[in-house]
């Protein structure tokens, strides 16, 4: 369905500007963006967080190659492999390389964190707005799903929907160069889960800080008798 965007000028100052954008579909607001813009200027400079020690991106498999390996991995149930093999796979325009891979079982739970490198497939222009847009797009591909990791196990099925997503850009970013996205889920309670994230360049500089809250619900097992037989 077509979406209409309404942009509201909240502030136009000397160094800062703020906008509110409503996305409207069928007469209802389905999404609201609050954006704050700041002219670059010199100021205090410190960083109190370190980039995790992870393998370099060129030592890791692209997501497409990892998927092909999983289709042949006997540690995955044959039903899972058959489902993935018959499901249409549409590659993302982002090259993603996971720094670790765990297979969840009843004995081994997935960790409450995830690290992966990403970059755009192809060279981008020097427009910083474009690079930040690509980073924002990528930030929501695999973020809230990490909050499900501590609960994963055999037969586990859940659904998550983003409620809010916040990003703070600390430095200029290059989305066509490797960026490390480190994600952690500190809490989940009352069907609401929280994830936090940090993005670093290869020099270890903190580029972006992120927080997302989402609605997460465990799906009930399907009835053994199909609805058509009821």
Candidates 47, 140, 166, 187; catalytic one: 140
226 is an active site residue: no
Q: For residue 91, give both structure tokens.
A: 């590659």
**Helix or strand or coil: residue 40?**
coil
Euclidean distance between CA atoms 116 and 43, whole angstroms: 31
Q: Which of 162, 177, 202, 209 is catalytic?
A: 162
Neighbours of 96 (CB within 10 A): 19
Only one residue has tokens 């963006």, namely 33
Name the helix (H) or strand (E) containing 132.
helix 128-139
Answer yes or no: 222 catalytic.
no
d(CA 151, CA 77): 19
DSSP 8-state symbol, 175 = T
Q: Is 162 known to be catalytic?
A: yes
CA 185 vs CA 6, 31, 97, 120, 182: distances in Å: 33, 24, 20, 25, 11
Asked whether the beta carbons of 120 and 175 are under 8 A apart, the reply is yes
Residue 160 backbone phi and psi in degrees, to 5: -130, 145
Give, for 136, the enclosing helix (H) or strand (E): helix 128-139
Positions annotated as catalytic residues are 140, 162, 212
């Amino acid at each position: 369905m077509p979406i209409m965007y309404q942009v509201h000028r909240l502030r136009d100052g000397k160094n800062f500007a703020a906008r509110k954008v409503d996305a409207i579909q069928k007469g209802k607001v389905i999404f609201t963006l609050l954006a704050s813009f700041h002219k670059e200027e010199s100021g205090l400079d410190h960083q109190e967080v370190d980039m995790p020690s992870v393998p370099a991106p060129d030592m890791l498999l692209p997501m497409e190659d990892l998927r092909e390996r999983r289709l042949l991995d006997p540690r995955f149930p044959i039903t899972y492999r058959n489902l993935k093999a018959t499901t249409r796979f549409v590659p993302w325009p982002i090259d993603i390389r996971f720094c670790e891979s765990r297979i969840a079982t009843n004995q081994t739970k997935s960790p409450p964190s995830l690290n992966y490198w990403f970059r755009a497939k192809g060279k981008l222009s020097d427009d910083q707005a474009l690079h930040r847009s690509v980073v924002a797009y990528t930030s929501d591909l695999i973020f809230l799903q990490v909050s499900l990791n501590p609960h994963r196990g055999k037969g586990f099925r859940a659904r998550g929907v983003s409620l809010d997503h916040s990003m703070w850009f600390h430095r200029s970013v290059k989305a066509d160069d490797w960026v490390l996205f480190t994600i952690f889920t500190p809490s989940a309670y009352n069907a609401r889960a929280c994830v936090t994230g940090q993005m670093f360049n290869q020099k270890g500089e903190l580029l972006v800080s992120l927080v997302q809250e989402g609605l997460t619900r465990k799906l009930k097992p399907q009835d053994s008798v199909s609805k058509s037989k009821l």
